[in-house]
Structure 1
Amino acid sequence: MTENKNVFGILGHPLGHTLSPQIHTRLFEISGEQAEYKILDTPPEKLTDSFEYFKSLTGFNITIPYKIDIIKMCDTLDDTAKRYNSVNCIANVNGVSTGYNTDCTGFTKAVGAMGMTLTNKVLLLGCGGVGRMMAIEAVREGGELTIAVRDADIPVAKALCEEIKQNYNSAKVEFCLLSEVKGDFDLMVNATPVGMYPNTDASPLTEEALGRITLNGFFDAIYNPRETKLMKMASDKGVKKVSGGMQMLVWQAAVAHTIWSGAEYTAEQVQAISDEMMRLV
């Protein structure tokens, strides 16, 4: 197998609007590395046949819909990948492919960049793929977690709460309906796609529901648009610390570079790249 040294890429399908090449190119520039970053748009029927080529790369990122399917290519998994049964970054070293999940570190870094933590009372909207990760990270940090979901997602939320309590004995976690949220929280996190482009007039919470809670901060995993309807509602309500998801996107990419080459990035450098990427959205 021919080694493609210092060649990286983003695997997914379709990949028409990915920002990964721009983000990673900037990260390579900052660290002074000479590298090539490719778009690896691969249809499902060609995924397995492409494994040999993927293994020839120094490393690559994985996005929808292959974060689980790619696991069978890995020779070993980092604890982050095992925790979520999801791989979004692979490093190929001496013929060994190791799978990682950098979304979780990207999330906690982005929350930290807001000047917030997950150690207090957290209200999580949604419990899908990214929501499950955010719920577990909040509990791992010692947060007191409330998961708010639609009626249709109650079975998923119940199962997630039971899973968390089994794996983390001291966990404080409960769930409720989005329409019934109330109380005081330190941080609210939106893990739903509601409000994402092009449906920018939508919000997972009504004005009435938002009015029943108090918040110190709000993190929305959505990064397009720059300000979701719920972000604006929170700002108008007087919430001081409000952030969209671009920081998380850039941080999870930066963590991949740390895995691949040991490169480290400051909060200021990640913020600068986030600002650049927001101008491209």
Structure 2
Amino acid sequence: MQASAKKIFAVFGNPILHSRSPQLFNAVFVHENINALYTRIQATNGKEVVDIIKKHKISGANITTPFKETVLEYVDSISDEARQIGGINVIINSNGALSGHNTDHIGVTTSLENITDLKTANCLVLGAGAAARAAVFGLILKGANVTVANRTFEKAKQIAKTFNCKAISLDKLEQSISKTDIIVSSLLPHANPLQGIILPKNLIILDANYRRSGVADYALKQECRLISGKEWLLYQAIETYKLFFGKEPDKSIMEKKFSSNLNSENINALALNPNVKHVDFQDVDIAIYTSSNNEAEFKKRLNEEKNLLING
């Protein structure tokens, strides 16, 4: 009997080399003796993401920044949750038909429910992208009172209108925080609108980043209770695995792999372009898609990824 072909899974983003998803999934594949591998792929737009999934028969994918919204128009179907959130972080390939899903909201609520009750909790969500919308969706589903704050107030107001919650401008943060139980930050690592505000020590802060960030550093300095983005990633990954395989993974196997870091001096990188037909993703740390066979562009983007991996 001919052995079944190895299934390929990937996380798409830009940048993407920092992602821990391959460590988590590949560890479970080994533990469960599943003939599959999980890698990272850097693309430049949502259409490229979908084209790569179809061309290289990728069975399932996680989608991260900046493609959660831009892939929406290219998939064949969208789950109710993903449609309401307005963003996809999971794509499943069923014989060429791509369905979009969202497990981010479960990552948020499960991380928080491990330590607190969300029903009637006063929650402040920082940001207005797909991750922020997923957080708002999940928190409201659990009965929380949600307020959204964003640098561009109009975007916060749009989310508030969509989910029937409140929106505030960043200059109103200080007075809002005194009535806040939980902050969920979906901001980029360098952003910290909390700077200079005295935070209550019983405040819970969930940061989407699992690398060092301005919000996380400030939360620790203010002695707040910080939940790392590692928790968010872990619980959305568990839900993603269930979508891929119809069963729950061993959580402890995934948890152990969070400390597994890539060595920036020993990155196995693969060049993808429209002319590449057959690809072996085995042991590939990152595949970078370019519109043509442009070695200079490939090297430039790889070096940018390595620098971000080192410097954060």
TM-score normalised to structure 2 length? 0.70
2:55 counterpart residue number: 53
1:37 counterpart residue number: 38
List structure 1 segments (4+ residues) > 4 angstroms apart after TM superposition.
Answer: 43-49, 266-270, 275-281
Rounded Cα–Cα distance in structure 2 between residues aligned with 1:259 and 1:14: 25
2:246 counterpart residue number: 262
1:221 counterpart residue number: 208
Secondary structure of 1:92's match?
Answer: strand
Q: For the aligned residues, what is the CA RMSD?
A: 3.1
- 1:18 Cα shift? 3.2
> 1:122 aligned to 2:123?
yes
- 1:42 Cα shift? 3.5
One-letter amino acid of the structure 2 residue matched with residue 163 of structure 1: T
Q: Is the 8 A contact 2:68 2:130 kept in 1?
A: no
Change (3 A) 1:180 1:101: closer
- 1:48 Cα shift? 6.0
Task: Tell me which of 210, 214, 238 is aligned to 2:198.
Answer: 210
Q: Is the 8 A contact 2:25 2:38 kept in 1?
A: yes
Q: Deviations over 1:120-161 (max 9, x none)?
A: 1112222233222212222221111222333xx111122221
1:166-181 equivalence runs, <5 A: 173-178=166-171, 180-181=173-174
Rounded Cα–Cα distance in structure 1 between residues aligned with 2:106 and 2:262: 21
Any unmatched runs of 5+ in structure 1?
166-171
1:93 counterpart residue number: 94
2:256 counterpart residue number: 272
Q: Is the 8 A contact 1:27 1:254 kept in 2?
A: no
Q: Is the 8 A contact 1:178 1:204 kept in 2?
A: no
One-letter amino acid of the structure 2 residue matched with residue 210 of structure 1: I
Q: Is the 8 A contact 1:185 1:214 kept in 2?
A: no
Number of residues of Structure 1 aligned to a counterpart in Structure 2: 258
Change (3 A) 1:159 1:15: closer
Q: Is the 8 A contact 1:5 1:58 kept in 2?
A: no
Q: Is the 8 A contact 1:59 1:92 kept in 2?
A: yes
Rounded Cα–Cα distance in structure 1 between residues aligned with 2:9 and 2:137: 29
> 1:187 aligned to 2:196?
no
One-letter amino acid of the structure 1 residue matched with residue 98 of structure 2: S
Greater shift, 42-51 or 61-70, is seen at 42-51
Change (3 A) 1:220 1:74: same
Q: Is the 8 A contact 1:178 1:205 kept in 2?
A: no
> 1:234 aligned to 2:216?
no
Secondary structure of 1:184's match?
Answer: coil
Q: Is the 8 A contact 1:146 1:176 kept in 2?
A: no
> 1:162 aligned to 2:161?
yes
Rounded Cα–Cα distance in structure 2 between residues aligned with 1:110 and 1:59: 24
Q: Deviations over 1:232-252 (max 9, x none)?
A: 44344443x311212212322
Change (3 A) 1:156 1:26: same
Change (3 A) 1:13 1:217: closer
One-letter amino acid of the structure 2 residue matched with residue 91 of structure 1: I
Rounded Cα–Cα distance in structure 2 between residues aligned with 1:116 and 1:6: 38
- 1:74 Cα shift? 2.6
2:229 counterpart residue number: 245
Q: Is the 8 A contact 2:12 2:40 kept in 1?
A: yes
One-letter amino acid of the structure 2 residue matched with residue 35 of structure 1: A
Q: Deviations over 1:95-123 (max 9, x none)?
A: 5322111222222222234x134321112
Secondary structure of 1:249's match?
Answer: helix
2:64 counterpart residue number: 63
